[in-house]
Chains A and B, each alone.
Chain A
Amino acid sequence: MLAAEEIQEALNLSSGWFLDNLWLVGLIPAIGFALIMGFGKKMPNGGSEFGLASMVASLVVATGAGLQWMNRVDSAEEAGHGGDEAIGLLQTFGRSVPRAAEGAEAAPFIEPVLTTWVWWQNSGLEFGIGSLGDGLAILLLWLVAFISLLVQIFSLDYVRDDRRYTQFFGALTLFSAGMLVMVMAPNMIQLILGWEIMGLCSFMLIGHWWEDHENSKAALKAFFTVRVGDVGLLVGTAIIYFASSDWIAVNLPGKSGFDIDAIQAWALSGDSSASGAAILVAATALFIACIGKSGQFPLHTWLPDAMAGPTPVSSLLHSSTMVVAGVFLVARIYPVFWEGFNIANGGLSFIAMIGAITIVIAALLAFVQDDIKKVLAYSTVSQLGYMMLGLGTGAWLPAVFHIFTHAFFKCCLFLCAGSISHSGSHHSFDMKKDMGGLRKHMPITFWSWIVSTLALTGVIPFAGFWSKDEIIDNVGNNGYTFLFWVGLGGAALTAMYMTRATYLTFFGEARGAAAGGHHDDDHGGHGDEHDLTLEEHELELATVGAPLGSDHADGGAPKSLGAAANAHGGHHDDHGPHESGKLITIPIVILAFFALTAGFANPTPLAGDALGFNLGEGVELIKKYVEPGHEPVALDAVTPGGPGESLTPFVPQFAEEGEGGKDAYASGCGRTTPPDGAVCFFPKVKHAVPELGKILLSLAVVAVGYTFAIGFCLAFYKRRDSRLVGLTERSRLANAGYKFIVNKYYLDYLYENVIVRAVAHPISAAAYWFNQHVLDATVDAVGEGGKRSGQWIYDNVDQKIVDGAVNTSGAVASETGRGLQSTQSGKVNQYGALIFGAAAVGAIVLVIINVG
Chain B
Amino acid sequence: MNNLTDNNWILSLGTFLPLLGALAIMFGTSKDDERTPKIIGILTAGLTLAVGIATLVLFDYDQAQNLQFFVDAEWIEVISSGYTIGLDGISLPLYFLSMAVTFLVMIYSWDNMPEAGNPKAFYSLMLILQTGMAGTFIAQDLILFFVFFEVVLLPMYFMIGVWGGADRKYASLKFFLYTMFGSAFMLVAFLALFFQTGAESFSFAWLYEMGAGIDRDVQIWIFAGMFLGFAVKVPMFPFHTWLPDAHTQAPTQGSVILAAILLKLGTYGFVRIALPMLPQGAQAWAPVIGILAVIGIIYGALGCLAQTDMKRLIAFSSVAHMGFVMLGISTLTTFGINAALFGMVAHGLITGMLFFVAGSIKHRYHTLEIKRLSGMLLQMPKMGWILGFAAMASLGLPGLAGFWGEFPAILSAYSPHPSLNEALFRTLMVIAAVGTVLAAAYLLWLYQRTAFGEPTEEFAGQSDAEHEAAGHDGHGVAHSLSSAANTDEHHDEIHDVQPTEWIAWTPFLIAIVVFGVYPQLMFKVLDPAVTELVKTISAGIPQ
Q: Which residues in A have some Cβ–Cβ distance to B below 8 Å?
A: 118-124, 163, 189, 192-193, 195-197, 200, 203, 207, 210-211, 213, 216-217, 220, 223-224, 227-228, 230-231, 234-235, 237-239, 241-242, 560-561, 564-565, 569, 759-760, 763-765, 767-768, 771, 775-776, 779, 783, 819-821, 823, 832, 835-836, 838-840, 842-844, 846-847, 849-850
The smallest beta-carbon distance between A177 and chain B, in angstroms, is 10
A234, B407: Cβ atoms closer than 8 Å: yes
When chains A and B are docked, how far (Å) is the Cα of A764 from the Cα of B174?
Answer: 24
Binds A, one of B203-211, B262-270, B448-456: B448-456
CB-contact partner of B306 in A217, A564, A768, under 8 A: A768
Would B215 and A850 count as touching, CB distance under 8 A?
Answer: yes
The residue on A at minimum CB distance from B516 is A193
Closest to A843 in B: B191
With a 10 A CB-CB cut-off, give which of B183, B242, B335 has the most chain A CB atoms.
Answer: B335
If A565-B475, A850-B215 touch, whether A220 touches B444 (CB-CB below 8 Å) is yes
Q: Compute how far the CA of A819 lies from the CA of B81 in the bound complex, rounded to whole angstroms.
A: 13
Tell me whether B411 and A820 are in contact (CB under 8 A). Answer: no
Is A843 a contact partner of B520 (Cβ separation < 8 A)?
A: no
* Residues of chain B contacted by A779 (CB below 8 angstroms): 174, 178, 241-242
- The answer for the CA separation of A210 and B183 in the assembled complex, in Å, is 48
**Are the C-beta atoms of A783 and B174 separated by less than 8 Å?**
yes
Query: CA of A378 to CA of B249 in the docked complex: distance in angstroms?
Result: 50
Say yes or no: B338 contacts A764, CB within 8 Å. Answer: no
Contacts of A843 in B (CB 8 A): 188-192, 194-195
Question: Is there an interface contact between B441 and A760, defined as CB atoms closer than 8 Å?
Answer: yes
The answer to whether A771 and B218 have CB atoms under 8 Å apart is no
B218: which of A119, A763, A768, A850 is its contact (CB, 8 Å)? A850
Of the A-B pairs whose beta carbons lie under 8 Å apart in the complex, a sample of 15, sorted by A's number, is: A121-B523, A123-B527, A189-B398, A211-B378, A211-B452, A234-B436, A235-B429, A764-B305, A764-B306, A767-B299, A821-B78, A839-B187, A842-B184, A843-B190, A850-B221
Q: Is B452 within 8 A of A210, CB to CB?
A: yes
Residue of B nearest to A240 (CB): B414
CB nearest neighbor in B for A841: B188
CB pair B302–A119 under 8 Å, yes or no, is no
CB distance from B174 to the nearest CB of A (A): 7
Q: Which residue of B lies closest to A820 (CB)?
A: B76
B238 near A775 (CB under 8 angstroms)?
A: yes
Q: How far is the CB of B338 from chain A (nearest CB, A)?
A: 5
Tier of interface size on chain B: 35 or more
Residues of A within 8 A of B334 (CB): 122-124
B524 CB to nearest chain A CB (Å): 6
A193 CA / B392 CA spacing, docked (Å): 13
Main secondary structure of the interface of B (DSSP, over half): helix
| Max chain B Cβ within 10 angstroms of own Cβ: one of A195, A200, A565 | A200
Inter-chain CA distance A120–B401, complex, in Å, is 12
Q: Which of A121, A210, A569, A820 contacts B524 (CB 8 A)?
A: A121
- Alpha-carbon gap, A474 to B477, bound state (A): 58
CB distance from B393 to the nearest CB of A (A): 11
Question: Contacts A193-B398, A242-B415, A561-B477: A224 and B437 contacting too (C-beta < 8 A)?
Answer: yes
Query: Could you tell me the distance in whole angstroms from the C-beta of B297 to the nearest C-beta in chain A?
Result: 12
| Secondary structure of the A contact surface, majority rule | helix
Chain A residues whose C-beta falls within 8 Å of the C-beta of B413 in the assembled complex: 238
Q: Is the CB of B303 within 8 A of A767?
A: yes
- Which one, B299, B411, B475, B519, contacts A234 given CB within 8 A? B411
CB neighbours of A217 from chain B (8 A): 448
**Which of A200, A220, A771, A849 has a CB less than 8 Å from the CB of B397?**
A200
Interface centre among B190, B333, B398, B524 (most CB of A within 10 A): B398
Complex Cα spacing A839 to B189, Å = 8
- The CA-CA distance from A410 to B506 in the complex, in Å, is 42
**Interface residue B445 (Cβ < 8 Å from any Cβ of A):** yes
Within 8 Å CB of B174, what residues of A? 779, 783
CB nearest neighbor in A for B298: A767
Q: Which of B240, B433, B444 contacts A235 (CB 8 A)?
A: B433
* Alpha-carbon distance A119/B404, docked complex (angstroms): 11
Min CB gap A545→B, angstroms: 38
Contact of B527 among A121, A224, A231, A767 (CB under 8 A): A121
* Given contacts A220-B445, A835-B184, A122 and B338 within 8 Å (CB-CB): yes
Within the complex, what minimum Cβ distance (angstroms) separates A427 from chain B? 16
Whether B288 sits at the interface, judged by CB under 8 Å, is: no
A123 to B339, CA, bound (A): 10
Using Cβ atoms and an 8 Å threshold, which residues of chain A touch B279?
none
Question: A120 touching B519 by the CB < 8 A rule?
Answer: yes
Q: B167-190 CB contact bits vs A (8 Å, 1 = yes)? A: 000000010011000011101111
B452-480 CB contacts (< 8 Å) to partner A: 452-454, 473-475, 477-478
Instruction: Collect the chain B residues with CB atoms within 8 Å of residue A847's CB.
Output: 192, 195-196
B208 to chain A, nearest CB (A): 20
Q: Could you tell me if B520 and A121 are in contact, using CB atoms closer than 8 angstroms?
A: yes
List the A residue with the shortest CB-CB distance to B147: A832
Is B502 close to A, CB under 8 A? no
Q: B452 touching A207 by the CB < 8 A rule? A: yes
Among B215, B304, B397, B433, point to the contact of A231 (Cβ < 8 A): B433
Interface flag for B13 (CB, 8 Å)? no
Contact of B399 among A193, A223, A836 (CB under 8 A): A193
CB of B408 closer than 8 Å to a CB of A: yes
Whole-angstrom CA separation of A238 from B336 in the bound complex:
12
**Is A768 a contact of B187 with CB atoms below 8 Å?**
no
Asked whether, in the complex, the Cβ of B76 is within 8 Å of the Cβ of A764, the reply is: no
Q: B500-539 interface mask toward A, CB cutoff 8 Å, 1 = contact, 0 = none?
A: 0000000000000000001110011001000100000000
Residue-by-residue, is B319-351 near A (CB-CB < 8 Å gives 1, otherwise 0)? 000000000000001110011000000000000
Q: Which 10 A/B pairs are nearest by Cβ-Cβ distance?
A: A843-B191, A768-B306, A764-B305, A839-B187, A767-B302, A842-B188, A210-B452, A193-B398, A242-B415, A764-B302
Residues of chain A with a CB closer than 8 A to B50's CB: none
Report which of A118, A224, A234, A238 forms a contact with B440, defined as CB distance below 8 A.
Answer: A224
Residue of A nearest to B185 (CB): A842
- Which residues of B from 200 to 228 have beta carbons under 8 Å from A? 215, 217-218, 221-222, 225
User: B341-393: which have CB < 8 Å to A?
Assistant: 375, 377-378, 392
Does B430 sit at the interface, judged by CB under 8 A?
Answer: yes
Q: Are A767 and B306 touching (Cβ within 8 A)? A: yes
CB-CB < 8 A to A820: which residues of B? 76, 78
Q: Does B410 contact A (CB under 8 A)?
A: yes
Chain B contacts with A in 44-98, Cβ cutoff 8 A: 76-78
- Chain A minimum-CB-distance residue to B76: A821
Apart from A760-B305, A779-B178, list 5 A-B contacts with CB within 8 A. A118-B520, A193-B398, A238-B411, A238-B429, A846-B192
Contact A124 B527 (CB under 8 A): yes
The answer to whether B520 touches A119 (Cβ under 8 A) is: yes
B332 to chain A, nearest CB (A): 13
Q: Which residue of B lies closest to A234 (CB)?
A: B433
- Whole-angstrom CA separation of A197 from B403 in the bound complex: 12
Does residue B23 face the partner (Cβ distance < 8 Å to A)?
Answer: no
Structural contact, A783 and B177, CB atoms closer than 8 A? yes
Collect the chain A residues with CB atoms within 8 Å of residue B215's CB.
Answer: 850
Instruction: For the complex, give the distance between the alpha carbons of A203 and B443 in Å.
Output: 13
- Tell me if B434 is interfacial: C-beta within 8 Å of chain A: yes
Measured CB to CB, the closest approach of chain A to B502, in angstroms, equals 15
Q: In whole angstroms, what is the CA distance A696 to B539 when docked?
A: 71
Task: Tell me how far the C-beta of A165 lies from the nearest C-beta in chain B, rounded to whole angstroms.
Answer: 13
Q: Which residues of A contact B473 (CB under 8 A)?
A: 163
A230 and B436 contacting across the interface, CB-CB below 8 Å: yes
Residues of A within 8 A of B378 (CB): 211
CB pair B454 A211 closer than 8 Å: yes
Q: A120-B519, A163-B475, A211-B375 are in contact. Are A197 and B399 (CB under 8 A)?
A: yes
Smallest Cβ-Cβ distance to B188: which chain A residue: A842
- A235-B430 contact, Cβ under 8 Å, with A122-B335, A123-B335, A561-B477: yes
Q: When chains A and B are docked, how far (Å) is the Cα of A567 from the Cα of B84?
A: 70
How many Å lie between the Cα of A217 and that of B407 in the bound state? 27
CA distance A237 to B415 in the complex (A): 12
Chain B residues with CB under 8 A of A776: 241
Contact for B392 among A200, A210, A237, CB less than 8 A: A200
